[in-house]
Amino acid sequence: MQETESELNARVGRNVFVLRKQALGISQAELADRLAVELGRPKIDPTTITRMESGRRPITVADLEALARIFSVDVEQLLDENSDDLLALKRLIEDWSVNRARIAAAEIRMTGVPTQASDLVANHPSLLSGLTNREREIYFDMQRSETPEP
């Protein structure tokens, strides 16, 4: 069954809404301003974006191309039924990448910490008595993590 123009407009509108909110986090007025610049028009009323997102405004090829540039996506993503899933996947990948880099940086900063802690306790064994049970547990876990495996 072939998709109607109104169904296509509704799908593109949903994708524009998702990209506007989740990818850029901008208002309809801001998107209208950006779209006006991309299309070389003096102004586009924000209600145009409202109608576009609700599927009540026909989408032109020029609109699709301009929106793709604004959102830094391919036109196909604006037409895709699963665009919001693709955006969610991209976000997960970006989050993983950023967090992985943070973990790697933290691992570098933590290198030698167990040895430093061990040296402090070796020089001042009474320090252990000043730790809470939880802190002592962490201290001993830290020491075990630094011990090389046979």
Express each pLDDT in 6-23 by its tens digit.
888 998 999 999 889 888
Q: Are 99 and 117 contained in the same domain? A: no
**For position 88, what pLDDT does the model report?**
65
User: Which residues have a Cβ under 8 Å from the Cβ of 55 and sit 6 or more positions away?
Assistant: 6, 9, 10, 11, 12, 13, 14
Q: Are 34 and 18 contained in the same domain? A: yes
Q: Are 20 and 84 contained in the same domain? A: yes
The pTM score is 0.57
Q: Are 71 and 124 contained in the same domain? A: no
Is the pLDDT assigned to residue 147 strictly greater than 60?
no
Express each pLDDT in 50-109 by its tens digit.
999 999 999 999 999 999 999 988 898 888 876 666 666 667 777 777 788 888 888 877
Q: Are 79 and 11 contained in the same domain? A: yes
How many domains would you assign to the chain?
Answer: 2
**For position 146, what pLDDT does the model report?**
65
Among 58, 42, 72, 65, residue whose Cα is nearest residue 8: 58
| Helix axes 28-39 and 61-71, enclosed angle (nearest 10) | 120
Q: How far apart are CA 116 and CA 135, in angstroms?
A: 15
Q: Are 19 and 36 contained in the same domain? A: yes
Q: How far apart are CA 22 and CA 45, in angstroms?
A: 21
Q: Are 20 and 80 contained in the same domain? A: yes
The domain of 137 spans 112-146
Q: How far apart are the first and last CA of the chain?
A: 66
**For position 115, what pLDDT does the model report?**
84
Q: What is the 3-state secondary structure (H, E, C) of 68-94?
A: HHHHCCCHHHHHCCCHHHHHHHHHHHH
Q: How far apart are CA 119 and CA 110, in angstroms?
A: 15
**For position 31, what pLDDT does the model report?**
97
Q: Are 91 and 19 contained in the same domain? A: yes
Q: What is the mean pLDDT of residues 28-55?
A: 96
